[in-house]
């Protein structure tokens, strides 16, 4: 999965599957995006899929949250966070009928958490 992110860090489009990012059509779309101050995705053959905004933060449903090195509940633990600590979602992927978030902890640790193990927090911007 590829995410197209604007200068403000907002996901403005996604594309699943393999892609040759060096084709003339793709380069032209990115040239339009760079020149576009509105942040809206440009049309063209890139055909980005719509995105839904990520939550502003995530919090463990249980007592603690384990950040994993991969999108696998048995993968190496990168960090174990204290109960109630919020993490910032960086991305979201779907795999085998479930979703995972790539997150950053307050400590700076980056890893993956299963969507079923966290509550999404949304705050007004």
Instruction: Convert the pLDDT of each residue in 5-46 to its tens digit.
Output: 776 777 777 777 777 777 788 777 777 777 644 444 444 445
Top-confidence residue, 47 or 83: 83
| Architecture, CATH, for domain 57-121 | Roll (2.30)
Delimit the domains of the chain by residue range. 1-53, 57-121
Q: Distances from the Cα of 55 to the Cαs of 3, 10, 38, in angstroms?
A: 16, 12, 22
pLDDT reported for residue 83? 86
pLDDT reported for residue 38? 45
pLDDT reported for residue 41? 46
108 has pLDDT over 60: yes
113 has pLDDT over 50: yes
CA distance 29 to 57: 31
pLDDT reported for residue 44? 46
pLDDT reported for residue 105? 93
51-95, pLDDT tens digit by residue?
A: 678 899 999 988 889 999 988 889 999 999 998 899 999 888 876
pLDDT reported for residue 40? 46
Q: Is the dihedral of CA 34, 37, 39, 40 positive or negative?
A: negative
- DSSP SS3 for 16: coil
């Amino acid at each position: 999965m590829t995410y197209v992110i604007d200068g403000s860090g907002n996901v403005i489009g996604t594309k699943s599957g393999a892609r040759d990012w060096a084709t003339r059509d793709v380069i032209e779309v990115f040239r339009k995006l760079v020149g576009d101050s509105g942040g809206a995705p440009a049309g063209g053959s890139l055909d980005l899929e719509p995105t839904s905004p990520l939550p502003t933060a995530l919090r463990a449903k249980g007592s603690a949250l384990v950040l994993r090195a991969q999108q696998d509940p048995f993968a190496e633990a990168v960090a174990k966070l204290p109960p109630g600590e919020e993490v910032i979602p960086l991305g979201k992927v779907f795999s085998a009928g479930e979703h995972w978030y790539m997150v950053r902890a307050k400590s700076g640790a980056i890893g993956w958490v299963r969507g079923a193990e966290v509550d999404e927090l949304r705050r007004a911007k």
